[in-house]
Structure 1
Amino acid sequence: MPAHTMRAIRLHEHGGPEVLRYDEVPVPEPGPGEVLVRVRAVGVNPPDWYLRDGLTNMPPEVRPQFDLPVVPGTDVSGVVEAVAADVTGFAVGDEVFGLLRFPGFDGGAYAEYVAAPASDLAHKPAGLDHVHAAGAPMAGLTAWQFLIELGHDHPSPFQAARHRTVPLGAGTTVLVNGAAGGVGHFALQLAKWKGAQVIAVASGAHEAFLRELGADRFIDYTKARAEDTVRDVDLVLDCVGGRGSRRFLRTLKRGGALFPVFFGEYDDEETARLGVTVSGTQVRSSGAQLAELGRLLDAGTVRVAVDSTFPLADARAAHERAARGHIQGKIVLTVA
């Protein structure tokens, strides 16, 4: 059994990476439906720095409530240390990975131990080490729920209609903007797995990486604008979003769809005139879907790219790396 205390990163206030503190805190106890995981690696994701900043990028009406101090983090890979009496399917010693309690902000993954809902976990693929497994859950499930199967009936806080995926296969063309990042590099590979042609948009430094992952065409956004050179795409997955996202509407054929992973601004009249749809969703924890993705990871059909790793105690440096941008794959924290 673990000691009574552990080290964890906590936020006592909001601000830049300097507010991430390496504290000594009690080891959590698993409640009903939970397992205690000894953490080996933690994936770093945008919601981690959104939380650090105080969620100021979210509209107040959909901003989750939480109390400080808080342990950030949702993506974890580790070893089961204890199992609640009502949990089946996991045993002490099992290697697991998961996206914890998302879309909430109480995952608590930046720690040596975490109490995790068993339903959020899957067995870690045997062929994947903990670092790569920790890089998969949020980014991989985001790509999965946008492109392959939503898998839940929870409404998105950002649109009234339920998100619906676009059938992918031979003859389908998908443009992925921000293809080198966490979600983007998973989306490219999942679209190729389904047989689609993929146009990858990123900076030129990522071309060889994205070609290796299977991109059929590459556009260096520093030299050319996709909306000026691409037409008749079935689906755009925009992993960047923001005010400029609507420019990708011009790349779509009639009946096509734009899926923005992050917030964008769109005009209903324009989309109606073009005969296209804009749809998004909010990724949710799912051990069952992660197990499906895990089988692809174990087979080598999909792989996790790791941009960089940092010890848990150096979470500040990991967030500073994220702030510099141009990330290739995932940033991961390691736990000794």
Structure 2
Amino acid sequence: MKKVSFAEFGGPEVLRLIDAEEPHVGPGQVRIAVRAAGVNPVDWRVREGQMLKAHPIELPAGVGLDAAGVVDEVGEGVEDVKAGDHVFGEGFDTYAEYAVMSAWARMPEGLTFEEAAGYPSVVETALRILRESGVRPGQTLLVCGASGGVGSAVLQIARDRGISVIGTAGAANQDYLRSLGAHATTYGEGWPERVRQLGRVDAALDLAGSGVIRELVELTGDPRKVITIADLGAPESGVRFSGVAGSVPDALAEAVGLISRGRLHIPVERSYPLAEAAKAHIDSQAGHARGRRVLVI
């Protein structure tokens, strides 16, 4: 099978499309013929060697966590799906033609493989950081870097829960944020004052890692009310870095419910063939996304 791999840590140029042996399931796992794989910031952080303390890996290594596809192997003890079922979820080395999945759910009706591949990690992260922020219905949440996949999910889930959201993004994405129910403003010089003009901030999320921690602490008045998923230096300011996943099966179940009720939709900004994984990483690192990027197999 074809698989994206890297033999050394470094930039996107270390990614190679190689021929590899097909993986096979163990107990409690399923294998899918991958139709699409989600591209996440954690993928290129792993490729660069940023995550070694939290997630040691041996080289050469595969890439990818999220995927959607067709079940073709079912491990011992798995009873909720069978060969031929369409599923999405999290697995191992999903930038490949076949991948073993550790958590999955049946794809909601009407969702394409490309769309489905963009949900798993994004929704788990969004649900987790909303929980960790402590924000409650009737309060206001500030989301910095709100137009990407996690931001898109946070805005919609918060709206569904009765939480008001102020979102920052580039000028081109202001209408997009408003379409998701947020009060939108641009980042750049003077952004904290623009946020203050939109209202009080009860909690804040940093999704972009663009050096805004000090301002977020000032806006909320308490570092414990700020959560980041992108600034590894934030704990020095008393701000929590959220990097440990919660229950992925629970997150997938909630995602299915939200999608089925029409309360959550994360657009696919761009799709790439498997051979262009390096290009997908370059674009992901550049930011400014509106929704998700996925690889199509």
* TM-score normalized by the length of structure 1: 0.81
Aligned-residue offset at 1:110: 0.5
Give every structure 1 segment of 4 or more consecutive aligned residues whose post-TM-superposition deviation is greater than 6 Å.
none
Aligned mate of 1:91, from 67, 73, 82 = 82
What is the SS of the residue equivalent to 1:13?
coil
Aligned-residue offset at 1:222: 3.1
Alignment of 1:179-328 (within 5 A): 179-215=146-182, 217-222=183-188, 224-227=190-193, 229-230=195-196, 232-241=200-209, 243-252=211-220, 257-262=225-230, 263-265=232-234, 278-284=239-245, 286-328=248-290
Q: Give the distance between the partners of 2:253 and 2:146, measured in 1 at CA.
A: 23
- Superimposed CA distance per residue, residues 262-313 of structure 1 (whole angstroms, 9 cap, x where no aligned partner): 2243666xx7xxxxxx444324251222111121112220111212110112
What is the SS of the residue equivalent to 2:212?
helix
Q: Equivalent residue for 1:135?
A: 118
What is the SS of the residue equivalent to 2:289?
coil
Q: Equivalent residue for 1:111?
A: 96
Aligned mate of 2:7, from 6, 12, 18 = 12
Paired letter, 1:81: D
Instruction: Say if 1:95 and 1:123, in contact at 8 Å, map to a contact too.
Output: yes
Q: Give the distance between the partners of 1:185 and 1:88, measured in 2 at CA.
A: 33
What is the SS of the residue equivalent to 1:233?
coil
Aligned-residue offset at 1:206: 0.3
Instruction: Say if 2:201 and 2:220, in contact at 8 Å, map to a contact too.
Output: yes
Question: Does the C-alpha gap of structure 1 residues 91 and 248 become closer, same or farther in structure 2, counting only changes over 3 Å?
Answer: same
Question: Does the C-alpha gap of structure 1 residues 298 and 211 become closer, same or farther in structure 2, counting only changes over 3 Å?
Answer: same
Q: Give the distance between the partners of 1:245 and 1:167, measured in 2 at CA.
A: 18
Q: Give the distance between the partners of 2:117 and 2:290, measured in 1 at CA.
A: 15
The percentage of aligned residue pairs carrying the same residue is: 37
Question: Does the C-alpha gap of structure 1 residues 311 and 222 become closer, same or farther in structure 2, counting only changes over 3 Å?
Answer: same
Aligned-residue offset at 1:244: 3.0
Q: Give the distance between the partners of 1:197 and 1:213, measured in 2 at CA.
A: 11
Paired letter, 2:17: Y
Question: Structure 1 unaligned runs (5+)?
Answer: 1-5, 101-106, 149-163, 272-277
- Superimposed CA distance per residue, residues 155-205 of structure 1 (whole angstroms, 9 cap, x where no aligned partner): xxxxxxxxx451421x21111110011211111111111111111111111
Instruction: Say if 2:166 and 2:195, in contact at 8 Å, map to a contact too.
Output: no
Aligned-residue offset at 1:322: 1.8
Paired letter, 2:10: G
Paired letter, 2:157: L
Question: Does the C-alpha gap of structure 1 residues 319 and 54 become closer, same or farther in structure 2, counting only changes over 3 Å?
Answer: same
Aligned-residue offset at 1:240: 2.0
User: How many matched pairs?
Assistant: 293
* TM-score normalized by the length of structure 2: 0.91
Paired letter, 1:115: V
Instruction: Say if 1:138 and 1:283, in contact at 8 Å, map to a contact too.
Output: no
Instruction: Say if 2:133 and 2:227, in contact at 8 Å, map to a contact too.
Output: no
Question: Structure 2 unaligned runs (5+)?
Answer: none
- After superposition, the CA RMSD in angstroms is 2.1
Alignment of 1:323-334 (within 5 A): 323-334=285-296
Matched, 1:123 2:77: no
Q: Give the distance between the partners of 1:99 and 1:165, measured in 2 at CA.
A: 24
